[in-house]
Amino acid sequence: MNVKSMEQMSKDETIALRNKYIGKSCQLFFREDPLKIVRASGQYMYDEMDNAYLDCINNVAHVGHCHPYVVEAGCKQMATLNTNNRFLHDNLVICAQRITNLLPEPLSVCFFVNSGSEANDLAIRLAQIHTGNTDVITLEHAYHGHLTSLIDISHYKFNLPGGPGKPEHVHLASCPDTYRGKFRASNYPGKDLGSLYGDEIREICDRVKSEGRGVCAYIAESLQSCGGQIIPPDNYFREVFKHVRAAGGVCIADEVQVGFGRVGKHWWAFQLQGDDIIPDIVTMGKPMGNGHPIAAVITTREVAESFRKTGVEYFNTYGGNPVSCAVANAVLDVIEKENLRENASQVGDYLLKACETLKQKHKNIGDVRGVGLFVGIELVMDRESRTPASTLAKKVVSTMKNERILLSADGPDCNVIKLKPPMVFSRANVDEFIKVFDRILGEAEQKIESAASAATVLLDTCRMPTSIKHNSEERIKSI
C-alpha cells in the first residue's frame, strides 16, 4: 500500500494547521510527540510511515478497526438511502428489536441518538419528566459526557481546577473502589462492601427526602472507566437501586464504554451483579457503531409513556438514520458470528492472569482488576501506602508508545494503566503486551531504585563530619 498517497500533507504541516484552526481544549494523545494515524485494521493502527501500533485502548472500534463487513454494510446503505427516522425504514425497527431482545424484559422502548453524550442527556431528561424530581446522584470520578447537563453530573470534569463545580441539585457519592476507596477490601475483610457503599446512597436519599424532595435519578457507569477501571463490589447495585427507588428515583446504567459484550459473560456489564439487577434506563454508544456515530437510550414503557404525555415530540435529525442502523446491525452480526463475547471472556481471563503474574514480580503494581477485555493495572510507589505512581504511569505509557503499543493512564491520579482493546484482541496480542510491559516497567523501576539509592547516599553524605564531607564532595565533582 502506498501510504504516502493517504497523506494530504506532511506531519509537521498537519500539526501546524491543527494548532492554527483547532481549539486548544481539544487535546491529543502523546502531545509531546503525537501520532499521525492514516489507517487501521483489526487491532492495529498505522502511522504515516506505515508503522503498526497494537491498539490496547480503542473500545470504540469494538469489532476491530474498519471491519470489512461493517464497512460494506454502511457503504451499501449510504449508496441507497440516508434520511431521518420520520420515514418508515426496516433498519431502524430491526435494530431496536435486536437490542431490546438482548436486555431484560421491562427494557423495551428505544430512542436513537448520535453519541453517548446525547444518550445520557436524554436519559436524565426522561428521569426528570417521569419522576417530577431534579436531584441526581452521581459518583466520584464519573464521566457521562460533554454536554452542559452532563458536565454537571461528571465529577471527572466539574471538579477540575477550571471546572464549574458541583451544582446544588447534584449529590456526590463515593466511587465503589474496593482497592483505594472509602471502603477497602483490605480494611473490611469479609464485609459486604456493596452494602457499605450502598448505605452512603441511602443516606443521600434520606437527606433529600428530609428536605421535602424526591430523587430524580442515580446514574453510574456499570464499570467506571475514566475513574480507573473500577469493578463495583458484589451486591452494590442491588442495594443502590433499592434505596434510589424507595426515594422515588430511577436508576440509569451507563453502558457507553462497556456494553455490547465487552465483559464477555454478558452483553451488558450491569448483568455481572445478578439477573435481578434491572435498571430503569440503559444508555449505550461508542461500540454500537464501531466508530460510526450512533447511540441509544433503552427504557421501560412506563418511563416512555411519561415522556409521551408531555406532548412534546422528540425528534433527532440523524438519530436512527438508515445508515447508522445498518452499521449497528452489522456490528451485532459480527459479535455473534465471530463469537467475540467468548473471545473477550477467554482472552480477558488470559490477560488478567498474566497481569496478576506480573504483579508478583513488580512491586510497583498495587492492584490488577477487570473483567473480559476491560482491565486496569494500578501503579503505586509502594503497596503499603498505596501512593499513586502517576509519574511512573505516564513514563510507561510514553515508552510503550515508542515500542508501538498504545496504552493510556487514567483514574483520579492518572496512575491506572487502562486496557480496553478491540474485541478481536488475541492471546498473541496479550503475550506481546505482557513481554514489552514487563521489560519497560522493570527498567523504570530500576531507575526509581537507583534514584532512591543516590538520594540516600547524598543524605548520608550531608550527615558526615566536615572534613570527610569535603573529600566526598570532591569525589562527586570529579565523577
Asked whether the beta carbons of 248 and 215 are under 8 A apart, the reply is yes
Tell me the β-bridge partners of 41.
44
Q: Confidence band (pLDDT; 50, 70, 90) for 445?
A: confident
pLDDT per position as a tens digit, 144-201: 999 999 999 999 999 999 999 999 999 999 999 999 999 999 999 999 999 999 999 9
pLDDT of residue 125: 98
Arithmetic mean of pLDDT, 69-82? 98
What's the gap between Cα 303 and its chain centre? 27
Judged against a pLDDT cut of 60, whether residue 460 lies above it is answered with no
Quick one: pLDDT at residue 469? Answer: 36
pLDDT given for residue 475 in this prediction: 25
Q: Residue 465 above 70 pLDDT? A: no
Provide the percentage of residues in the chain whose pLDDT is more than 90.
90
C-alpha cell at 228: 480507573
Q: How far apart are CA 351 and CA 343, in angstroms?
A: 12
Give the list of residues 6+ apart from residue 193 with CB closer than 8 angstroms, or none. Answer: 176, 178, 183, 185, 233, 234, 236
pLDDT tens-digit readout, 166-180:
999 999 999 999 999
Please list, residue by residue across 318-333, b when 16 or more beta carbons sit within 10 angstroms of its beta carbon and e when fewer do: bbbbbbbbbbbbbbbe
- pLDDT for res 447: 86
Q: Is the pLDDT of residue 129 over 70?
A: yes
Query: Tell me: the pLDDT tens digits for 373-431?
Result: 999 999 999 999 999 999 999 999 999 999 999 999 999 999 999 999 999 999 999 99
Cα(47)–Cα(3) distance, integer angstroms = 9
Q: Is the pLDDT of residue 278 over 60?
A: yes
Q: Taking the complete model, does pTM exceed 0.85, yes or no?
A: yes
Whether the CB-CB separation of 181 and 367 falls below 8 Å is answered with: no
**The dihedral formed by the CA atoms of 298, 299, 305 and 310, expressed in degrees to the nearest 10:** -70
Q: How confident is the model at residue 468 (pLDDT cuts 50, 70, 90)?
A: very low
Number of neighbouring beta carbons within 10 Å of residue 63:
25
Q: What mean pLDDT value characterizes the chain?
A: 93
Non-local CB neighbours of 232 within 8 Å, separated by 6+ positions: 176, 194, 197, 223, 224, 273
The residue ranking higher by pLDDT, 109 or 4, is 109
Cα distances from 38 to residues 5, 54, 75, 290, in angstroms, run 10, 14, 20, 17
The 3-class SS string of the chain reads CCHHHHCCCCHHHHHHHHHHHCCCCCCCCCCCCCCCEEEEEECEEEECCCCEEEECCCCCCCCCECCHHHHHHHHHHHCCCCCCCCCCCHHHHHHHHHHHHCCCCCCCEEEEECCHHHHHHHHHHHHHHHHCCCEEEEECCCCCCCCHHHHCCCHHHHCCCCCCCCCCCEEEECCCCCCCCCCCCCCCCCCCHHHHHHHHHHHHHHHHHHCCCCEEEEEEECCECCCCCECCCCCHHHHHHHHHHHCCCEEEEECCCCCCCCCCCCCCHHHHHCCCCCCCEEEECHHHHECECCEEEEECHHHHHHHHCCCCCCCCCCCCCHHHHHHHHHHHHHHHHCCHHHHHHHHHHHHHHHHHHHHHHCCCEEEEEEECCEEEEEEECCCCCCCECHHHHHHHHHHHHHCCEECEEECCCCCEEEECCCCCCCHHHHHHHHHHHHHHHHHHHHHHHHHHHHHHHHHHHHCCCHHHHHHHHHHHHHC
- pLDDT of 253 > 50? The answer is yes
Q: How confident is the model at residue 462 (pLDDT cuts 50, 70, 90)?
A: low
Cα end-to-end span (Å), the chain: 52
Q: What angle do CA 96, 99, 100 make, to 5 degrees?
A: 85
pLDDT at 471 over 60: no
Answer yes or no: is pLDDT of 4 > 80.
no
Instruction: Give yes or no for a contact between 57 and 406, defined as CB atoms under 8 angstroms apart.
Output: yes
- Looking at residue 474, its pLDDT comes to 30
Question: Do 312 and 73 contact (CB within 8 A), yes or no?
Answer: no
422: which 3 cell numbers?
A: 478491540
Helices 340-361 and 427-462: crossing angle in degrees, nearest 10, is 20
Q: How far apart are CA 423 and CA 256, in angstroms?
A: 15
Compute how many other C-beta atoms are within 10 angstroms of the C-beta atom of residue 389. 25
Distances (CA, A) of 232 to 31, 145, 173, 204, 237: 32, 21, 13, 19, 8
- Residue 466's pLDDT is what? 41
C-alpha span between 89 and 83 (Å, rounded): 9
pLDDT tens digits along 49-67: 999 999 999 999 999 999 9
